[in-house]
Structure 1
Amino acid sequence: MKKIILTASVILLFFSCKNKEVSKEVIVDKVSIDSVFKHYYEESLKLYPLNATLSGDSRYNNYLPNDITASFKNKQKAFYNAYRDELLSFNKDSLSKEQRMSYEVLMWECNINLDKLQYPTELIPINQFSSLPQTIGQLAGGSSAQPFKTATDYKNWLQRLNDYVVWCDTAIVNMKKGIKTGYVLPKSLTLKVIPQMESFSSGAPKEHLFYSPIKNIPNNISRAEKDSLALAYETIIAEKIIPTYKKLENFFRDEYLPASRETSGINDVPRGNAYYGHQIQTFTTTSLEADSIHKLGLSEVARLENEMKKVMAEVNFKGELKDFFQAIRTARELMPFDKPAQVIENFNEIHQKMKPQLAKLFDLTPKTEFEVRRTEAFREASASAEYNPGSIDGTRPGVFYVPIPDVKKYNIYSDEDLFLHEAIPGHHYQISLQQENKSLPDFRKTLWYSAYGEGWALYSESLGKELGLYNDPYQYFGMLSAEMHRAIRLVVDTGIHTKGWSREKAIEFSLAHEAESEESITAEIERYMSWPGQALSYKIGQLKIIALKNKAQKQLGDKFDIKIFHNKVLESGCIPIKLLEEKINTWILKNTVDE
C-alpha cells in the first residue's frame, strides 16, 4: 500500500518537476505492474474527469479541466511519458498472459496520445458533431451521465458549468489563433455550429435546457435547498450560460464564418496530411495507408452492390439500383409512424423478437440494463443514432439514442440492423461485458478502440438471420445498406481528406450507392469532415473479425463453436486490432495442436 501511494505521488511530482533527471531518479522505485495499471487509471480520471463521470465515478463531478490550453497539453505529455517510462522498466517475459496484454494496451495508449500532442487540435475545439458543447448539452438535460440525485450533485454541476464558461472563452481565443494560421473548420460546418449556439443563447432562464435538472429535482432535497438551487441555476443561466453562448454565436457568425475554409478535407490545414495519417492509426489501430483503404472501399462497394441487386430481383423491382434506392427513400409504407414514441416502441419490439435466439450465439451476456431513447432536440438535426454506455457499477443503464427530427419521414427499412449494431449484441453487449469484467484492470474497462468496438458492432449486424430477424427482404436490404454505408465511408473519408474531394462530391457518391436520404447523407458527410478517420474504423474492424472467424472455422472444423469464438473476441474488451488478431490466432493454434 505504501508503494502505491508513493508511485501516485511520484507521478504528480513528475508533472510539476522541471528537472527531468531528478524525475527519472525518483521514478526508479518500481512497483508491481498491476500497481502501475491501477495508478494509471486513477491518475487518468483526475486528468479526464468527464471520463470518470461517464463511467459512474462521482469523485470529480464538480470539475472540468481547461483541456485546450498549452499547460494542459504539457500535463498530458508528462503523464504519458511517465507511464511509458514505467512500462519500459519491466521485463515483459516476466509477466502473465493477461498482464502482457494490459502492458501492450497501455503502451499503445501512451504512444498514440503522445503522437497526437504534436498537432494543434486545440485550435479547432468546437464543431457541429463531437465537441465539448455537445457533451455538456447532453449532460445539462439532467437525464444523462451527470447525476442529479442529491444537493451535492446539483452543486457539482454548478461548479462544472463555471469551468465550462472558462473553457468557452479559451475556445474563442484558440479559434482566433486558428484563423491566423489557417487551422479552421470548413465553412459548411461553421454554418451548422451557429444554430447550435443560437439554441442556447437566448430565452427565459427557467425555459432553458440547462434549467431542466431543477424541474426534476428529487423530493429528498429540502424545500429551502430546492429554492436556493433554483435561484443559483437561474442566476448562472442568466448571467453566464446565455451570455457565453451569445458570445460564441456572435463570434462564429461575425468572425469565424468569414474566415472558414471552402475546402472539405483536413489535408488543407497546416500539417493536415500527417495528422490524417495519425487519425488513421488511431481509429483503425493498424498501419494501413489512405490509398489502400480507398481501394478497399471501392472493392467493398462493388461487392455489396451485387448483393443488393439480388434483393431487388427478389422483390421484383424493375429498374436500376439507384432507382431502387429512391423508391425505398420515398416508400410511404416504410414511413408508418406519426408519433416519435412509435419509433421507440418499434425498437423495443425488435428486442423482444430476437431475445429467444440470443442463447444460440452467446453465453456471455451483460447484467447492465438497457433502454431506447429519443435524441435530445438541441442536437437531433445533426446527430446519428448512437449508444451511450451505462455506468461501470450497472446502476445507470446503457442508452440507445435515436434521432427523430421528423417522424413523418422516419424510414424503418434498416431498424432491425440498427438495433443489432447500437444495442444487442453490438455496443450494449460489448461495452457492458467489458465494464463488468472483473479480470480486467480498471483502465481497460472503459477503453475504447473504434476499430474493435465499431468493428464488433458492424459484425453484429451480420447475425440478424440467426437471431430471427431479416425475414422481410427490405430489412435484409437495410442490413446490406448499412454495410454499404460503412464501405462508402472508406471511399469518401479518404477521398475528402487526401484526394481533394469536396463535400458535394462525397454526397453525390453516397447518394449513388446507398438508400439513405440526402438529408441524412449530408449530415454523415459533414460528420466525416469534422472527425477525420473515425469513419474508417467500422469496416476495417468488421473485416478483421470476419476473417478471424473464417480462419477459425476452417482450421478448427467440427471443433469450432460460435459461442466460444464470440467469448474469445469479447472477453478481453476493447483492444487494438493487432492484439485481437494475435489472441485469436493463439487460440486457434492451441486448439488445433491439442487435436
Structure 2
Amino acid sequence: MKNTICILLASLMLLGCNQSGKESATAAEQKLSSVLDNYYEERLVLFPLEATAIADNRYNDQLPNDISEAHRAKVRRMYQKYLDQLGQIDTAALNEQEKLSYAIFKLDMKTALEGLKFNDHLLPVNQFWSLPLSMGQLGSGASIQPFKTVKDYDNFLGRINGFQVWADTAIANMRRGMASGMVLPKPLTQKILPQFAALIVTDPQKSIFYDPIRNMPKDFPAAEQDRLTEAYSLAIMEKLVPAYKKMHDFLQTEYLPKSRTTTGIAAVPQGKEYYNLLVRFWTTTNKTPEEIFQIGQQEVKRIRAEMENIKTQVGFKGDLKAFFEYVKTDHKFMPYQTDEDVLNGYQAIHKRMEPQLKKLFGQVPKSKFEVRQTEEFREASASAEYTPPAPDGSRPGIFYVPILDPKKYNSSRMESLFLHEAIPGHHYQNSLQFENEALPKFRRFGWYGAYGEGWALYTESLGKELGLYTDPYQYFGRLGGEMHRAVRLVVDTGMHAKGWSREQAIQYSLENEALSEDAIIAEIERYMAIPGQALSYKTGELKIRELRQTAEKSLGSAFNISSFHDEILKDGGMPLAVLETKLNNWLKKQHKSTN
C-alpha cells in the first residue's frame, strides 16, 4: 500500500518518495525547478525593468510604483511564499548544481525579506542610482528599452504614464522621510538638482526623450510617424517635464532645507542595523564593518609600498603625494584632443590584449561588445560603467565612458579600467552567465556585487599576463585602481559605521589616491548615496585571489589558469561562501583526475 501511494502521488507531481518515504531525486529536482521558474516569472511581473534588461519584451509598457506600500507588500508576500516552498524540498535528493541553486536562492529570499524591514523607499532618489535617471537612459533609445517597432514606441508611452505616478509617490515618501529623519545628506540633494534641471525643457525637441523620434525607423507608415511624433511631444511637455519640474522644485524648496548635515546612514532611524544588512548584502559575507575597516587599512599600506616602488623605478624625485599630483596633472598623461580619440584609445587596448586572451580563458562569450560615451545629461556625475548585453543578441554589452573634456582625460588608468569594466571583466562574466541556458533564470540573470565586482577587480591583476602594463605608469594606474577599492573599504565603513564626516573621507582619499579632488568628492558622495556597495569590489577580489593561491599551491604544476578561470565563471554569480565551496569541490576533482 505504501509503495502504491508513493507511485500515485509521484505521478501527480505532488510528492516523490522511495520505500523509506524519502523524496526521490527526480521529484526533488522537479519541485525545485518549479519553485525557481515560478519565482522568476512572478518577479518579472513585479519588476518589469528586469525583463526589459534581458530582452523579455512582455512588460515593456509597464512601470510599477515600486516605492509604494502596496507594491512592497506584494514583494514581501512573494519572497515569503517561495522561501516557504523551498523549505519543503529534500535537499539530500538534489544533485550538485541543484544544491548550488538551493543555497543561493535561500540566501536571496532571506536577505530580501530582511531588507524590507527597513524604509529605504523613503529615500527614492539619489545622484547615482534612481529611476528618474534610469528613465532618461531608457527614453534616450540608447539603453535597454527597444525602439524598433511602432509597438515599442507605444510601450514607452505606457512607462511615461507610470513614471508620473512614481514621481508623485516619491515626493510623498520624501515628505514622510522628512518627518521621521530619513533624509539624504545635503550635498547629495544638491547634486540631484542639476540632473533633474537638465531634463526640464521648453521645447520637446531639445529633450533626450525626443531622441527616439529623431531616430525613428524610416519604414514606419507616415501616419504612424506623425501620430508618434505628436504623442511624444505631448508626453514630454505634459507628463515628463511637469514630473521632473515638480520633483526638482520640491527638492529645492522643501527637501534641501531639511536634508541632513550628517554623512553616514547610521544617522537615520535604524541606520546602524540597515548598514549592517547592506554590508552583508553587498559583500555576501558575515564580516563586520570593523573587520572590513581593518582589512582596508592593511591593503592601503601594502599598495602604498608597491606605489613607492614604481615611483623609484621611473626616477621621480618627490614624495608619493607629489607623484600623485604629477600623474594627475602632467600633460603627457592627457594625449587626447577629441571624444573619439578617447574611445579609440580603449579600442586600441582591446586589440593589443586580444591575442593573449585564449591563454587565460577556455570559454569566451559570443555576445558583441561596444565602447560608448556616457550620455551628456548624466555624464558629470557618472563613473565608467558596463551595461550587459541582451541574451538574445539584440543589444551588445556596452562599456560607457564619461568624457567631460577629452583634452583633460587622464590616460594612466585606461588599461586597468578596460580590463575591469569591459574585457575580461564585466563583459566576460555577465555574457557567459547570460549565455548559460542551463542555469535557472534567477541565476542566469542574477547579480551578486562581491562576485561580479570582485571578478572585475581581480581581472585588473591579469594585465601583464595579457600583454598590458608594459608602461610603468599604466601599472601605476592599475595600483591606483586597486588602491581606490582598498580606500573604499576604509571610507565606506568609516562614514557609515565609525562616524567619519564627508570631509574626513575626502581627506583620507586625497592622501592615498592619484585622483583629482573633484573625482574624489564624486566618489565619496557615491558611497554616501549607496552605502555598502563600494565594499563589494575588494572583498570579492581578495576571495578570488585567495582561491587562486589555494589552487596553485594545492595543484602545483597541474594548475591550469584557464581551467581555474572557467570554473570561476561557468556557473554564474553567487555569494562568496557558495563560490568557495564550489571551488573546493572542483579542487578535489582536479586531484582525482591527476592521480
Shorter chain as normaliser: what TM range? over 0.9
Point out the more displaced range, 200-209 or 585-594.
Answer: 585-594
Aligned to 1:196: 195
Matched residues in 2 for 1:568 and 1:394: separation? 24
How big is the shift at 1:590?
2.8
Aligned to 1:339: 338
CA deviation map 1:511-549 (0-9, x unaligned): 110101111111100000000000000000000000000
Is the contact made by 2:296 and 2:488 (CA closer than 8 Å) also made in structure 1?
A: yes
Is the contact made by 1:53 and 1:61 (CA closer than 8 Å) also made in structure 2?
A: yes
Aligned to 1:516: 515
Is the contact made by 2:210 and 2:232 (CA closer than 8 Å) also made in structure 1?
A: yes
How big is the shift at 1:32?
2.2
How big is the shift at 1:31?
5.6
Aligned to 1:25: none
Aligned to 1:145: 144
Matched residues in 2 for 1:202 and 1:393: separation? 36
Is the contact made by 1:264 and 1:503 (CA closer than 8 Å) also made in structure 2?
A: yes
Task: Determine helix, strand or coil for the equivalent of 2:57.
Answer: coil
Aligned to 1:78: 77
CA deviation map 1:249-288 (0-9, x unaligned): 1101000000000111000000000000000010000000
How big is the shift at 1:120?
0.4
Matched residues in 1 for 2:423 and 2:359: separation? 14
The AA in structure 2 aligned to 1:415 is M
Matched residues in 2 for 1:570 and 1:233: separation? 43
Task: Determine helix, strand or coil for the equivalent of 2:59.
Answer: coil
Matched residues in 2 for 1:73 and 1:141: separation? 29
Matched residues in 2 for 1:151 and 1:591: separation? 54
Pairing of 1:82-93 with structure 2 (within 5 A): 82-93=81-92
Matched residues in 2 for 1:512 and 1:104: separation? 42
Matched residues in 1 for 2:247 and 2:200: separation? 9
CA deviation map 1:289-338 (0-9, x unaligned): 00010000000000000000110001100111011000111010101112
Aligned to 1:166: 165
Aligned to 1:493: 492
Aligned to 1:11: none
How big is the shift at 1:140?
1.1
CA deviation map 1:179-220 (0-9, x unaligned): 000000000000001111111123211111111100000022
Is the contact made by 1:368 and 1:395 (CA closer than 8 Å) also made in structure 2?
A: no
Matched residues in 2 for 1:91 and 1:335: separation? 60
Matched residues in 1 for 2:260 and 2:193: separation? 16
Matched residues in 2 for 1:593 and 1:468: separation? 33
Is the contact made by 2:54 and 2:390 (CA closer than 8 Å) also made in structure 1?
A: yes
The AA in structure 2 aligned to 1:203 is T
Aligned to 1:116: 115
Task: Determine helix, strand or coil for the equivalent of 1:59.
Answer: helix
Matched residues in 1 for 2:226 and 2:303: separation? 60
Aligned to 2:309: 310
Matched residues in 2 for 1:216 and 1:476: separation? 42
Aligned to 1:504: 503
How big is the shift at 1:571?
0.6
CA deviation map 1:456-491 (0-9, x unaligned): 000000000010100001000000000000000000
The AA in structure 1 aligned to 2:557 is D
Aligned to 2:46: 47
Which runs of no fewer than 5 residues in structure 2 stay unpaired? Answer: 1-8, 14-27
Matched residues in 2 for 1:291 and 1:444: separation? 31
Is the contact made by 1:151 and 1:225 (CA closer than 8 Å) also made in structure 2?
A: yes
Is the contact made by 1:201 and 1:249 (CA closer than 8 Å) also made in structure 2?
A: no
Alignment of 1:275 with 2:274, yes or no, is yes
Aligned to 1:266: 265
Matched residues in 2 for 1:265 and 1:378: separation? 27
Pairing of 1:333-482 with structure 2 (within 5 A): 333-482=332-481
Matched residues in 1 for 2:341 and 2:517: separation? 23
CA deviation map 1:361-418 (0-9, x unaligned): 0010000000000001111111000000010112210000001112221100000000
Aligned to 1:57: 56
How big is the shift at 1:30?
11
Matched residues in 2 for 1:576 and 1:85: separation? 21
Is the contact made by 1:186 and 1:264 (CA closer than 8 Å) also made in structure 2?
A: yes
Which runs of no fewer than 5 residues in structure 1 stay unpaired? Answer: 8-28
Matched residues in 2 for 1:210 and 1:169: separation? 20
Aligned to 2:20: none
Aligned to 2:4: none
Task: Determine helix, strand or coil for the equivalent of 1:384.
Answer: coil
Aligned to 1:232: 231
How big is the shift at 1:592?
2.6
Is the contact made by 2:29 and 2:98 (CA closer than 8 Å) also made in structure 1?
A: no
The AA in structure 2 aligned to 1:306 is A
How big is the shift at 1:593?
4.5
How big is the shift at 1:586?
1.3
Matched residues in 2 for 1:39 and 1:275: separation? 29
The AA in structure 2 aligned to 1:463 is L
Runs of 4+ with >4 A deviation: none
Matched residues in 2 for 1:286 and 1:562: separation? 26
Is the contact made by 2:284 and 2:450 (CA closer than 8 Å) also made in structure 1?
A: yes
Is the contact made by 1:150 and 1:220 (CA closer than 8 Å) also made in structure 2?
A: no
Task: Determine helix, strand or coil for the equivalent of 1:471.
Answer: coil
Aligned to 1:13: none
Is the contact made by 1:202 and 1:246 (CA closer than 8 Å) also made in structure 2?
A: no
The AA in structure 1 aligned to 2:148 is K
Matched residues in 1 for 2:335 and 2:579: separation? 42
Matched residues in 2 for 1:441 and 1:220: separation? 38
How big is the shift at 1:438?
2.0
The AA in structure 2 aligned to 1:52 is A
Is the contact made by 1:61 and 1:157 (CA closer than 8 Å) also made in structure 2?
A: yes
Matched residues in 2 for 1:76 and 1:339: separation? 47
The AA in structure 2 aligned to 1:523 is A
Aligned to 2:6: none
Is the contact made by 1:65 and 1:163 (CA closer than 8 Å) also made in structure 2?
A: yes
- Identity in percent: 51
CA deviation map 1:27-80 (0-9, x unaligned): xx9962112211111111111100000111111000001001111111011100
Is the contact made by 1:276 and 1:533 (CA closer than 8 Å) also made in structure 2?
A: yes
How big is the shift at 1:587?
1.3
Task: Determine helix, strand or coil for the equivalent of 1:400.
Answer: strand
Aligned to 1:21: none
The AA in structure 2 aligned to 1:571 is K
Q: Give the TM-score normalised by the residue count of structure 1.
A: 0.94
Aligned to 1:20: none
Task: Determine helix, strand or coil for the equivalent of 1:166.
Answer: helix
Matched residues in 2 for 1:485 and 1:175: separation? 32
How big is the shift at 1:589?
2.3
Aligned to 1:537: 536
Matched residues in 1 for 2:509 and 2:407: separation? 23
The AA in structure 2 aligned to 1:260 is S
Aligned to 2:208: 209
Is the contact made by 1:374 and 1:404 (CA closer than 8 Å) also made in structure 2?
A: yes
Aligned to 2:553: 554
The AA in structure 1 aligned to 2:220 is I
Matched residues in 1 for 2:425 and 2:561: separation? 16
Q: Give the TM-score normalised by the residue count of structure 2.
A: 0.94
CA deviation map 1:146-172 (0-9, x unaligned): 000000000000001110111001000
Matched residues in 2 for 1:536 and 1:362: separation? 27
Point out the more displaced range, 229-238 or 496-505.
Answer: 496-505
The AA in structure 2 aligned to 1:586 is N
Aligned to 2:285: 286
Matched residues in 2 for 1:450 and 1:271: separation? 23
The AA in structure 2 aligned to 1:160 is R
